[in-house]
Chain A
């Protein structure tokens, strides 16, 4: 697959109250963005287990995004603060073992930021494109 037409596959975890709603808003406002990113809905970014990121990379994702409410706006008051700590460390860890740091992204998108959601998706997909395919860490039949 040549770099030009390489289509990365990004898995995103969005909190129900801000980012998922923001993505809904992008929809209702008919804002167009790349289709390479697929969303898993959780109630709070604080629910996202850092091991999900690794698991996603193992199971075939080329990039991962975690998105939650802006600090201080968490529907559950503190969830995104925990998420921020966990993923700051997870990002460092992945980068350290040589997982291209462009594969892992995190964002704060509020329910009113449909436009920002578009920008985030574009950036995240672009990042994953630049990072290229990621077979090394994949759980795949090569090992079977």
Chain B
């Protein structure tokens, strides 16, 4: 468990360094169980920082979302470090970004937070509806402890944790300049059960499952924008010439959009689950990404975001790669 005081002290020290621009962390949100990413620029602000089961956001996304405005002539870009707090999955995103030169190691200061799993807000807000006052939540042994206005509630982990966390194999940061607290035990078995369940169904059943989901997509692009691995300056799926996917929202275009995105994430997705979390119409996008993660692991023994030296899956091959389906 990460000690809050320790966390804030480290943050204060970090932000006091001359070579650090700002620190990206989590703070209590505006109501209930919500948490908001925050950007600490003054040592004083470090008091806002928290680390709890509520800290779902993958802050690595902000390493690449930041716009670079044209600089006035003669002005030098600010290349000071960005300090970022990462959970296990977030840290894999950072590693994968480094592999793909999305970020520069020397421009990062990584604060690792071993993570015992974050909440699925949909589950939680269903369990404790209409709670407006900010709630403190802590990890307990195999359970989650909620400090609700009407008193303390303890809930078994399985009931409220995000699925990605129940499946998590890398709860501890794989890269960090400083790690807060002890490493924690992973309880994911890497068996991709939910994927297998869907695989077991017939093709038509699978199609109607996804057709229903993609049909509900409103193409708000939150899945793409939140994704720490989606950082093309100009997404090919937004392009008008050539137009791969029309702007129209319908089964055909929405399906094409989500399959293209899933494919572009093959061998890159670090399974942080953000796309699924942010989807306003609850499309189970992780079911899609995990399918490819599964194939990539089974066929090529590859898991992204673990080794900064690794060659990207889609820009490499082995002469003896499987090819059982080829005529």
Contact = CB atoms under 8 A, between A and B. Distances in A.
Contact, chains A and B (beta carbon distance below 8 A): yes
Contacts of B206: 96-98
B322 to A, nearest CB: 7
Q: By DSSP majority rule, is chain A's interface helix, strand, loop, or mixed?
A: helix
B103 interface: no
18 contacts: A58-B253, A71-B323, A85-B313, A88-B295, A88-B299, A88-B325, A89-B296, A91-B325, A92-B295, A93-B262, A94-B259, A96-B206, A97-B206, A97-B207, A99-B203, A107-B327, A108-B326, A137-B255
B325 A85 contact: no
Nearest to A59: B252
A54 B321 contact: no
A105 B326 CA distance: 7
Nearest to A98: B207
B209 A93 contact: no
A11 B291 CA distance: 26
Interface string A59-91: 000000000000110000010011011101111
Nearest to B249: A143
Contacts of B231: none
Interface residues of B, number: 45
B207 A136 contact: yes
Contact of B248 (A50, A86, A91, A143): A143
Q: By DSSP majority rule, is chain B's interface helix, strand, loop, or mixed?
A: helix
Contacts of A7: none
Interface in A1-54: 50-51, 54
B226 interface: no
A15 B63 CA distance: 40
Given A89-B266, A96-B198, A54 B317 contact: no
A55 B203 contact: no
B319 interface: yes
Chain A: number of interface residues, binned into ranges? 35 or more
B321 A85 contact: yes
A128 to B, nearest CB: 13
A106 interface: yes
A118 interface: no
Contacts of A94: 259
A138 B259 contact: no
B205 interface: yes
Nearest to A116: B327
Contacts of B210: 97-98
A123 interface: yes
B252 A85 contact: no
Contact of A98 (B203, B266, B321): B203
Interface string B243-259: 01010101111011001
Contact of A106 (B253, B288, B295, B326): B326
A143 B325 contact: no
Contacts of B209: 98
Given A98-B204, A136-B211, A85 B292 contact: no
Contacts of A93: 259, 262-263, 266, 288, 291-292
A25 B182 CA distance: 67
Closest 4 CB pairs of A and B: A98-B207, A98-B206, A107-B327, A81-B317
Given A81-B317, A136-B207, A136-B251, 4 more contacts: A51-B260, A51-B263, A98-B203, A140-B252
A95 interface: yes
Contacts of B211: 98, 136
